[in-house]
């Protein structure tokens, strides 16, 4: 009797847990390894699910719960960091009209909690305190060595363990050791140009719920997503020089950075100093914002997803959304492969991984490039950017631009091929639908 395939997912964040749902829907055995001691925890800012991600959640039956916890976003306001108004437009309402699904703002912890609580057999499938130390591959499978001395065995490893991915480090070593492989020249391919404060605070008076605020300035930009109970904020600052070094900031450094932004207007009439006074400082973090994308997404029986492949600043809002799309594409390939061959060879797996990268790499590279351009535009890294942002952009037909530039891209988003469901439909039809009918 053929041995059933088993997938080891390294990383229990939003993309890792969505990957678990996709595997469960495909009836593929799996385990999720999360290095943190708790699966559900709060630290950092919020996340916006765009229509393509709301559709993925609808397909696995979790959209209703996410809608209950989140805030439906409608408009976006751009201003200067001194509070001067630039423009207001129906960014999110326009996308919902085009695609049938809303854009939803909520905390990262709420996303993780919803994905975790909705996962069948979660207590045995998702393992905290499971930090990957090493991975050993062989012609028949993989052995994953954990920091507590235990070993997990399976058919392959999906690395969803973030920008500082241990899975990627092991994969790079395997490529270097192979006779015909060429690894990335840089062992750490992401470069940091910006740092950011992430956090949340109670909603201040006078702020519109469901409104997204963005402030622009010289080397600085901020974003705020307003929910029913909290506002989730991020403030970016350009570093003096780019770096590839990892950095952990102290509480004192966070305090100093926050004080330097006291007069920055997160909203046209509210400063960050006012928000800082009401926030729980233990829930706020200061981090590096790496940017970049790697060239090789897989090797042997290891394949990468999410931030371990591509990383961008939060300005474009595409990090989790892009990661979930990649997860759907990858698990589609695995489901198709395992349906015909439950004991695939390494060559068979690499063929599936290759198809996954070929499908996703073009859109991921475009997304990373757009994110870099947007970040540098609103932080005025050039005179042309400053002129465009302040004097041209506010007079453009922004809703028309959304329909013309972004609707065709969103409409090509992927879903799970093997899970039938009744998708919502807007003015722009979805290109990709499940191969099985509801």
Q: Which residues are catalytic?
A: 223
CB-CB neighbours of 118 under 10 Å? 17
298/245 Cα distance (integer angstroms) = 24
Q: Three-state SS for 46?
A: strand
CB 171 within 8 A of CB 302: yes
CB-CB neighbours of 205 under 10 Å? 6
Q: Three-state SS for 394?
A: helix
Q: Three-state SS for 202?
A: strand
233 φ, ψ (degrees, to nearest 5): -125, 155
With CA atoms as reference, report the closest residue to 377 among 332, 315, 424: 315
With CA atoms as reference, report the closest residue to 290 among 389, 122, 146, 168: 168
CB 54 within 8 A of CB 18: no
How would DSSP label each residue in 81-93? TTS-EEEEE-HHH
């Amino acid at each position: 009797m053929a041995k059933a395939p088993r997938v080891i997912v390294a990383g229990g964040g939003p993309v890792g847990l969505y990957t678990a749902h996709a595997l469960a829907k495909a009836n593929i055995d799996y385990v999720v390894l999360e290095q943190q001691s708790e699966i559900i925890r709060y630290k950092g800012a919020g996340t916006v699910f765009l229509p393509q991600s709301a559709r993925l959640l609808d397909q696995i039956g979790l959209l209703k719960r996410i809608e209950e916890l989140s805030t439906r976003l409608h408009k976006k306001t751009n201003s200067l960091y001194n509070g001067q108004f630039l423009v207001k437009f129906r960014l999110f309402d326009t996308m919902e009209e085009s695609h049938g699904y809303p854009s939803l703002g909520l905390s990262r912890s709420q996303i993780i909690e919803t994905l975790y609580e909705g996962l069948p057999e979660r207590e045995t499938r998702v393992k905290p305190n499971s930090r990957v130390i090493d991975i050993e591959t062989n012609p028949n499978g993989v052995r994953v060595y954990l920091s507590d001395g235990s070993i997990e065995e399976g058919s392959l490893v999906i690395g969803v363990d973030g920008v500082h991915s241990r899975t990627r480090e092991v994969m790079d070593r395997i490529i270097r050791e192979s006779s015909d492989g060429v690894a990335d020249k840089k062992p750490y391919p992401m470069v940091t140009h910006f740092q950011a404060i992430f956090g949340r605070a109670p909603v201040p008076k006078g702020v519109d719920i469901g409104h997204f605020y963005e402030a622009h300035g010289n080397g600085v930009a901020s974003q705020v997503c307003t929910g029913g109970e909290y506002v989730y904020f991020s403030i970016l600052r350009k570093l003096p020089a780019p770096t590839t070094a990892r950095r952990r900031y102290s509480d004192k450094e966070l305090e100093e950075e926050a004080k330097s932004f006291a007069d920055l207007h997160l909203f046209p009439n509210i400063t960050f100093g006012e928000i800082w006074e009401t926030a729980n400082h233990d829930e706020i973090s200061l981090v590096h914002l790496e940017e970049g994308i790697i060239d090789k997404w897989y090797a042997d029986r290891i394949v990468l997803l999410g931030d371990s492949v591509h990383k961008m600043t939060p300005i474009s809002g595409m990090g989790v959304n892009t990661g979930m799309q990649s997860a759907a594409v990858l698990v589609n390939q695995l489901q198709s492969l395992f349906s015909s061959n439950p004991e695939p060879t390494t060559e068979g797996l690499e063929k599936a991984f290759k198809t996954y990268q070929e499908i996703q790499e073009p859109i991921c590279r475009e997304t990373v490039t757009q994110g870099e351009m947007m970040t540098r535009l609103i932080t005025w890294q050039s005179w042309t950017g400053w002129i465009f942002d302040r004097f041209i952009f506010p007079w453009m037909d922004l809703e028309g631009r959304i329909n013309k530039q972004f609707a065709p891209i969103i409409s090509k988003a992927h879903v799970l091929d093997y899970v039938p469901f009744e998708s919502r439909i807007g003015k722009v039809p979805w290109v990709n639908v499940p191969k099985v009918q509801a």
